[in-house]
Structure 1
Amino acid sequence: FYHAGFLGKNTAHQDYHSPNMVRVSGDPTNVRDLTRFELSARQEVWDLLEVLRNEAGLKDAYILATAPQVGARESRQVNGLYTLTGDDVTGGRKFADAVARGSWWIDIHCPLGHTYPVHLCVRTCPRREKCPFWAAEHERMYADQKATEAPQDDWYDIPYGCLVPKGGVNVLVAGRSISATHEAMAGARVMGTCLAIGEAAGVAAAMAAAGDGVVANVDVPELRRRLTEQGALV
């Protein structure tokens, strides 16, 4: 299971909990792996329920709902007018064409899906036998979790250029498919940031449609003004 503490990683509601407790590994661009994800993750949910029913106060616990599909933290991304980097995240970089903010750290999970004793994919991985990914990439990895953190009480900007694919005309990209390196995507992929990027993409798309239809020609200062008017932080 992803997290051993039932109350440690969850959303608490009045009469139910939404725990973040199962994790699978593989290639989210491979249809066979996607099928395996769906089957194994849902089986783990039932296995987890049996474990929880043996805990005090949970003998009558039941499954209310599961996610409609397995969510991938990262897969393919576009090559945009700008590519967000890990240094942008850890340095809290600001951009003149910023359309959203992020504050989550570079949270790269173990590519093999391991939880204990490892959670993060960093150079100081505690596993005795290192995986092929670590062997190939460890020299460019962050040393430890502290090195992956964004500045305290600050944020990094998501520039409009990350939403605009190079060579694209009438396409905008939002969420975890924006133009970003592996490291930067590990910070920008979280829900709050993706929601903010989605709002920016929606307003920009409307502006482009009302203009010449070319997303690269959107008036970014006006886009930022409209987002601010709607209550967005840019």
Structure 2
Amino acid sequence: MLNPGFLIEDTFDVLVAGAGVTGICAAIAAARQGARTVLLEPRPFIGGNAATGLCIHTFKTKDGRQVVHGLAQEIVDRLVEQGGAVGHVPLPEGYVHSVTPVDADLFRMETTKMLAREGVTILYNTVLVDAEARDGRVERVLVCSKSQLGYLKARTFVDATGDADLASMAGAPVRTGWTGSGAMQPVSMMMRVVSVDTARACQALSEHPPAWATKRGVADPIPVYFHGTFTRWNGILRELGVYDHDDHQFWTNTVWPDQLNFNGSRLANIDGNDPLALSRATVELTGQLQKLGAFLRANVEGFERASFVPNAFVGVRETRNVNGLYELNEEDIRAGRKFADTIGQGCFPVDIHHPDGKSQEHIDIGGNGAYDIPYRSLLPQGMENLLTAGRCISVSNYAHGATRNMAPCMTTGEAAGIAAALSAKAATPCPELPMARLQPALRRVGLYLGEAVA
């Protein structure tokens, strides 16, 4: 029987829900501002999609100008020192100018150490159950751990769940899926491939010039990123039952000469808010990747001795977005718009995997190749002490294709953590936090605000 009562009885300054890349940056940033911070994570590990082997996209615009800095860059620098990253590598052809692959396990270990160093309380295996709010203020959240069901209090809250779980529970208005239909982009599962000859695999599979990088202690350059389609094997893949369509696209990344992170699965019509649907997706995608691994070993050079390990959880692209004080939209992205209340910039192009699960669309950012993320897009309507960050911020379906990726998520996470800490310290509602106070704090930690407009 679960024990009633509080897990921790006193009040934190900042509570961050979700310990993916967004929540990690939010919690570290809040703690560095002097806020007593707690980080909730339902899984037994942190890192989210970075812990699955996904490449971090992207720090640089199409013309090679870096606009993502701050904690995101600090983490990459720390991983480079350990051999767990190779920096930002130019991609000769593709929808991004550069790629930033990282080792999934080293990312998880290093960020765990960073959180501990800053004194953040991490509650693993702790599920957010409900939130109590009154007059636009979140008062406490109900959480469940292995043996306890209880409440946590904080002065300010950051929803970094990706699914706007905390915001939705607190009564903030949200949009689910595509406006009108509620359809969501398909889900995927990463696969780690070990004992693979990455150079030969790249030669056999890549349909575009790959990104190559050198690494200390490794004699030859490594193809750290390459992509293409399985068009030439359409018949075999259909016969094996891997896909129900032809010309399936895949992407790979690595920082090692004998390992690959393989992004080659997809499953449509899955509601990422529904635990039963996600459980079904876990079963189906694990099976899909087992078949894909067998296909690669039998048919593609470089994989003859490889072993294939599907990831432990499903990667979700789209569920809920809050209705914020401003909704970043298609026109903003197409124009590369700048805002007076910017908290950072993004430069990843619009990347939409269509809900039918059979195609995707990439569209460049306009203007100078970067767009501002306004502070208002982090603020749910009607809420005083709640910020959102990462995938669930206030954006249209179109803009979501640009903001949902890890680099902009790390930027919004860091900004939300700083804003939450400043609001808690000054007892100021988050929407009333002056830009004259927030933006200098963001600049001091290295976040790039570009040319803010009046």
* TM-aligned CA distance change 1:216 to 1:191, over 3 Å: same
Larger Rg: 2
Which position in structure 1 is the counterpart of 2:263?
A: 20
* TM-aligned CA distance change 1:167 to 1:12, over 3 Å: same
- Partners in 2 of 1:88 and 1:24 — Cα distance? 30
After TM superposition, give the deviation of residue 165 of structure 1 in Å: 0.6
Which position in structure 2 is the counterpart of 1:119?
A: 360
* TM-aligned CA distance change 1:5 to 1:109, over 3 Å: farther
Deviations 1:73-102, CA, capped at 9 Å, x for gaps: 111111111110011001100000000211
Which position in structure 1 is the counterpart of 2:303?
A: 58
Counterpart secondary structure, 2:372? strand
After TM superposition, give the deviation of residue 211 of structure 1 in Å: 1.1
Pair 1:149-2:364 in alignment? yes
Pair 1:67-2:308 in alignment? no
After TM superposition, give the deviation of residue 219 of structure 1 in Å: 2.2
TM-score of the two chains, using structure 1 as the length reference: 0.80
Which position in structure 1 is the counterpart of 2:385?
A: 170
Counterpart AA for 1:183: Y
Counterpart AA for 1:217: E
- Structure number with higher strand proportion: 2
Pair 1:207-2:422 in alignment? yes
The alignment's C-alpha RMSD in Å is 2.1
Counterpart AA for 1:108: I
* Equivalent pair of 2:351/2:360 in contact (CA under 8 Å): no
- Partners in 1 of 2:391 and 2:367 — Cα distance? 23
Q: Determine which of 293, 308, 320 is the counterpart of 1:49.
A: 293
After TM superposition, give the deviation of residue 70 of structure 1 in Å: 1.2
After TM superposition, give the deviation of residue 152 of structure 1 in Å: 6.4
Any stretches of 5+ residues in structure 1 without a counterpart? 121-144
Pair 1:230-2:439 in alignment? no
Which position in structure 2 is the counterpart of 1:85?
A: 329
Pair 1:194-2:409 in alignment? yes
- Partners in 1 of 2:283 and 2:381 — Cα distance? 37
Deviations 1:17-55, CA, capped at 9 Å, x for gaps: 111111111222233321221111111121111011122
Pair 1:160-2:405 in alignment? no
After TM superposition, give the deviation of residue 66 of structure 1 in Å: 4.0
* Equivalent pair of 2:350/2:398 in contact (CA under 8 Å): yes
* Equivalent pair of 2:335/2:367 in contact (CA under 8 Å): no
Please list every run of at least 4 consecutive aligned residues from structure 1 whose deviation after the TM superposition is greater than 4 angstroms.
Answer: none
Counterpart secondary structure, 1:32? helix
- Structure number with higher helix proportion: 1
- Partners in 2 of 1:67 and 1:228 — Cα distance? 37
After TM superposition, give the deviation of residue 5 of structure 1 in Å: 4.2
* Equivalent pair of 1:102/1:157 in contact (CA under 8 Å): yes
After TM superposition, give the deviation of residue 12 of structure 1 in Å: 1.7
Aligned residues: 203
Counterpart secondary structure, 2:353? coil
Deviations 1:204-234, CA, capped at 9 Å, x for gaps: 1110110115111222232221111111111
Pair 1:108-2:352 in alignment? yes
- Partners in 2 of 1:175 and 1:113 — Cα distance? 23
- Partners in 2 of 1:99 and 1:79 — Cα distance? 18
Identity of aligned residues (%): 33
* Equivalent pair of 1:24/1:37 in contact (CA under 8 Å): yes
* Equivalent pair of 1:97/1:221 in contact (CA under 8 Å): no
- Partners in 1 of 2:297 and 2:365 — Cα distance? 39
